[in-house]
Amino acid sequence: MRPLILSVALLCMALLALPSLTNCQTPASVVWNCVAPDSARPSTITGSITAEPLTGSGVVIRSYTGGNAGPLGTFMRWWPGLDSLGTGIYWGPETVEVATRWIQIEAGPVDGNSFTVDSVTFWSAGGGTGEMRMNVYYDTDTTFAARVKLNADSVIRLPHGSNVGCTRYGWAPNTTVESGKRFYLRIYPFYGGASSNSKYIYTQLVEIKGTTISTVDVGDRAGTAPETFVLHQNYPNPFNPTTTISYAVSRTSQVRLEVFDLLGRNLATLVNEQQTPGMYSVPFDASRLSSGTYVYRLNAGGNVFQKCMTLVK
């Protein structure tokens, strides 16, 4: 057994040079090009995330032509909407944002993953005016009650799109969206000039980037017999001092789950019993151990699986 443990130890040490792999983090991003005809839909999705078409409250997409082009060509143009007669609704003059007027961008992790949002960026400009302003917020709840303002210092005054083109705006939320939750980015535009129904806001090339990490939600999988034996990466990883190790048992078997140091010495036997098919999660408390990399090993149904985990104190 010790040669096998040592071979895994060598792999663990190699992974230390690759933080994204050691931490089971995978790059994830979504881009909305905001170019007709499918301007509201996500254009590119990478990694274990999903995304929704852009939506608006108190604003609508009324046209794509005219004005200054964005980095990808013709802009998406958001207007205050139309009244019952089909006439453009007036807005302005406004000195603060309107609570019911916003553009929303939504993304979130695939079930069984968490998504850490590292950056959000988009291109924007004022349409037909230099008096268009905006505030930008994010939240992970649909109520938007605990929203966080990204442009914390001041209101953003958008450039006049017809004169100087668009500007790229970006922030680093550094927030983690757990499985089952969503990340909502909202742009609140408002117009400081004289009342008008011919002013609007441009948006283009919206991007949300970050990383995902696999998690295990045993409750969601209860009652479903796994098709194969699987050992999942512990979560969280790195950890201090507790973490959870999850695995799948596909048929009734004797199951043994152990933790070793990099020299192959057994530090803990977490499971040693016969188990029926299902998903299992076992907590591991490393309070008595020093910082470092450890190996955990699952022996079940004639299969042997090993992974490494990192304790950081």
Give pLDDT tens digits for 102-148: 999 999 998 878 899 999 999 998 888 899 999 999 999 999 999 99
Q: Provide the 3-class DSSP secondary structure of residue 2.
A: helix
The pLDDT assigned to 16 comes to: 44
65 vs 181 pLDDT, higher one: 181
Domains annotated on the chain, with CATH: 2-22+216-311 (2.60.40.1930), 33-214 (2.60.120.260)
Give the whole-angstrom CA distance, residue 240 versus residue 270.
18
Mean pLDDT of 48-77: 79
* Of 31-45, 56-70, 71-85, 298-312, minimum mean pLDDT range: 56-70
The whole-chain average pLDDT of the chain stands at: 84
Mean pLDDT of 4-19: 50
Give the whole-angstrom CA distance, residue 239 versus residue 231.
18
Phi-psi region of 292 (alpha: psi -120 to 50; beta: other; left: phi over 0): left
Residue 280 has pLDDT above 90, yes or no: no
Residue 220 has pLDDT above 80, yes or no: no
- Listed in sequence order, the residues at least 6 apart from 307 whose beta carbon sits closer than 8 Å to its beta carbon are 8, 231, 233, 234, 295, 296
Give the whole-angstrom CA distance, residue 166 versus residue 12.
47
266 vs 236 pLDDT, higher one: 266
Residue 11 has pLDDT above 60, yes or no: no
Query: Residues 208-235, buried b or exposed e (16+ Cβ, 10 A)?
Result: bbbbbbbbbbeeebeeeebeebbbbbbb
